[in-house]
Chains A and B, each alone.
Chain A
Amino acid sequence: MENWVIYVLNGLYFASFLFLTSLGLSIILGVMGILNLAHGSLFAIGAFVAAWIVGAFGTNAPITLFIVGLFAALGVSGIVGLALETSLIRPMYQRALEYQLLITFGALLLIEDLIKMVWGGTAYYASKPFTVMGNLGIGDNQYPLYFLFAILTSMAAGLCIWIVMSKTRIGIMLRSISMDREMATAMGIRIGRLNTLAFGMGAALAGLAGALIVPTTPALLGIGMDPLILAFIVVVLGGLGSLKGALIGSFIVGETRSLGIVFFPEIELPLLFLIAVIILVFKPEGLFGR
C-alpha cells in the first residue's frame, strides 16, 4: 500500500516540472499561435545554468545556491527567449506557419550546440540540494523532501502565472489575444510587445522547470528533447490554452510515467504516447480543449 503512495508522490514530482514546461508551451502557443520547437532547449539552458551555479561555487550553502540557480535559470532562459522572439520569430509573423516552425527548429539546433560550446559535452551534476534536504519517512519508505520542494515551487510558479493572467491588465490582454487576435488588435492592444512578453514568460517557465530537475538528473546534452515531447503531449491532452488542462494533463502524464517506470520500464515513453494517442482518437481537441 505504501508503495502506491510513493509511486503517486513520485508521479507528482514528474508532474511538477512537466506542468511548468507545458504551461510555458501553452502560453506561447495560445498567445502567439507558434509551436515553439526550441522549448526543450530553453528547458536545457535552465538545467545547465542551475547545475553549473550549484557546482561551480562550492558546496557551502547548496540550498541557497540552488535557489539562486533557480532564479538565474529563469532569468537566462527568459532572456534567451526574448532574444529569440525579437530576432527570429518576429520577422516570421506574416509568413506561413511552416516557416515559423522551421525557425524555431533552427533555434533548437543552434541552442543545442551553443550549450555544447558553453558547457562542453560533460554531464553537470547538482545533487547536493537533493541530498541535503533529506527524506521524509512515509511508512517504511523514504520520500525525498526535495520532491516536495519541487512540487511546491512549481505550484507557486503556477499560482503566479494564474494571478498574472486573471488579475493583471497585462494578463487579461494576453488572454484576449489568445482568444481572438483580430479583435484584440482592433481594440488597440499592442500585439508585438505582448507577443515578446508571452514568449519570454514561456521560456522562463521552461528554464525554471529545467533547473528544478537537476538535483535528480544531471544536465546532459539533449536533455531537453523528452520534456519537449512530453510537454506537447500534456498540451494536446489537456487542451490548448487551459491552465487547468496543463495541470491535469501534467498530472496524468506524470503519474503514468511514474507507474510506467515501475511496471513497464522498457517502454515508458511509447506507453505514454500510446495513452495520449488513444485519448486523442476519441477527443481530438484534448480533454479540456476549446
Chain B
Amino acid sequence: MGLKDFLLKPKFFVYLGIFILLMFMPKVLPIYQLMLLESGITFAIMSLGFNLLLRYTGLLSFGHGALFAVGAYSVGMMGEYFPEMYRIEILIPVALFASFVVSTIFGFICVRHTRVFFSILALALSMVLFALLVKLYNITGGSDGIHIELPMMFGKSYEGVKRFEFLSGAYYFVLICVFAASTIIMLGIVNSPFGKTLQSIRDNEVRAEMIGIRIRRYRLYAFILSGLFTGLGGAMWSFVNGHVTPEIAEWVFSGEIVYMTLLGGFMVFEGPIIGAILFTYLKLYAVSFTQYWMFLIGATLITLVLLLPEGIAGGFVKLVTKIRRTPSTGVA
C-alpha cells in the first residue's frame, strides 16, 4: 500500500475534512474559544510526541512537562536575550534544537533502566528542571517566568498588534499547518520500519535484541523524537499563552499530559489528539466548578484505567468494530 492507496482511504477524507473545517474556525468561533482551541492544538502536538513513547515504544514518562517547558522557555529566552532574532522562522528551529539537546540528555539517563524506573526517573529529571527554572531566576525569571512578545512572522512585525488579533489571524494558520505537518510526520514515523522496530521493543525486548536491535539506542531515538514534538508544542503554546512560568515543568502538568493521552485513548493514533483538545475544554470548565481539580483528574484517571483503559477514541473504535462485526441478527 503506497501513498496512492492511502489517499483513497476514507480516513484521508476525514482528515481533509477536519483540516478544512479547522481553517474556517477563526470565522466561526469567538476569540476566547479560538484561543482555547489553539491551546488544545498545541497540546495535541505535544501528545503526539508523548504517545510515540507510550503506545509505540511502551515507555510511560511522568516528566514530559519538562520537555514542553524547554520548548516554551527557549522562545521566552530568545525574546529576552536575542530580540533581534525574534522571528518565528528562527524560534521554531531554536526550540527544536533545545528540545533535541535536553531530550538527548534526559533520554540517555532514563532509557538505561527498566520501564518502571524509567517512569519515575523522567519524573525526577523534570523536577530537577523545575527546580533549576525557579532557582536560576536571573536567567529564567524565576517563578515569575518570562513574558512572550509577539514574534515576527515571515518578515512582518506584529509590534503594537493586540495578541488576540495575532492569534486569530496569521498565527492561527501557521499553527494549523504546523499541526498538520506534525500529524503527517508522526503517522509516517509510526508506520515506518523504525516504528515497527519500536513496537517490537515494546512487545518483547528479549526477542528484539535477538533480532539484532539495540534496545537502548532505539528507545533513545524514540525519546528524542518524542521530545522534539513535545518541545514544538511548548513553543507554539508560548505564543498563545503569552507567558511562560516554571509550573509547566512541574509534575502536575506532566500528570495532565499523561491524563489527556489516556482520556483520548492511547491505543489509537488519533486518541491523544482528541484527548488533548477535549482536556483543554474540560479543564477550563472543571476549574471554574471546583477548587479540587486534582481530585477530579485523579478520580477520573482511576476510573478510566479501571473501566475504559482504551480511552474515548479507543472505546469508539471498539464500538465501531463491534457494530461492523455483528451482521444483521435476522432469522435465528
User: What residues make up the interface of A, taking CB atoms closer than 8 Å to B?
Assistant: 29, 33, 35, 37, 88, 91-92, 95, 97-99, 101-103, 105-114, 116-117, 225-226, 229, 232-233, 236, 266-267, 269-270, 273, 277, 280-281, 284
Contact = CB atoms under 8 A, between A and B. Distances in A.
Interface majority SS on A: helix, strand, loop or mixed?
A: helix
A232 B119 CA distance: 11
A233 B113 CA distance: 13
Interface string B256-274: 0010001000000000000
A97 B124 contact: no
B119 to A, nearest CB: 5
B255 interface: yes
B124 A102 contact: no
Contacts of B60: 98, 101-102
A128 B12 CA distance: 68
Contact of B62 (A33, A37, A114, A280): A37
Interface stretch (B128-136, B228-236, B315-323): B128-136
Interface in B101-118: 109, 112-113, 115-117
A269 B62 contact: no
A246 to B, nearest CB: 16
A102 B120 CA distance: 12
B139 to A, nearest CB: 12
B109 to A, nearest CB: 6
Contact of A270 (B121, B128, B258, B306): B128
Given A106-B305, A236-B117, 15 more contacts: A29-B116, A35-B119, A99-B305, A102-B60, A103-B302, A106-B297, A106-B301, A106-B302, A109-B294, A109-B301, A110-B294, A110-B302, A111-B298, A116-B291, A233-B124
Given A101-B60, A106-B302, A112 B294 contact: yes
Contacts of B297: 106, 109
A269 B128 contact: yes
Contacts of A105: 62, 255, 258, 301
B118 to A, nearest CB: 10
Contact of A117 (B58, B120, B258, B292): B292
B109 A280 contact: yes
A25 to B, nearest CB: 10
Contacts of B82: none
B147 to A, nearest CB: 24
A232 B302 contact: no
B103 to A, nearest CB: 16
Interface of B: 54, 58, 60, 62, 109, 112-113, 115-117, 119-121, 123-125, 127-128, 131-132, 135-136, 251, 255, 258, 262, 291-299, 301-302, 305-306, 309
B292 A113 contact: yes
Nearest to A108: B298
A105 B255 CA distance: 8
A98 B301 contact: no
B259 to A, nearest CB: 9
Q: Which 6 A-B pairs have the closest CB atoms?
A: A109-B298, A113-B295, A110-B298, A106-B301, A106-B302, A113-B294
A153 to B, nearest CB: 27
A97 B54 CA distance: 12
24 contacts: A33-B116, A35-B117, A97-B116, A98-B58, A102-B60, A103-B302, A106-B297, A106-B298, A106-B301, A107-B298, A109-B255, A109-B297, A109-B298, A110-B294, A110-B295, A110-B298, A113-B292, A113-B295, A229-B123, A232-B120, A232-B124, A236-B117, A273-B125, A280-B109
Contacts of A99: 305, 309
Given A225-B127, A229-B123, A266-B135, A103 B109 contact: no
A284 B297 CA distance: 34
B200 to A, nearest CB: 16
A253 to B, nearest CB: 12
A284 B112 contact: yes
B128 A102 contact: no
Nearest to A116: B292
Given A97-B115, A105-B62, A280-B109, A113 B135 contact: no
A270 B295 contact: no
Contact of A225 (B58, B135, B251): B251
Contacts of A106: 297-299, 301-302, 305
Contacts of A101: 60, 62, 116, 119
A112 B251 CA distance: 13
A273 B120 CA distance: 13
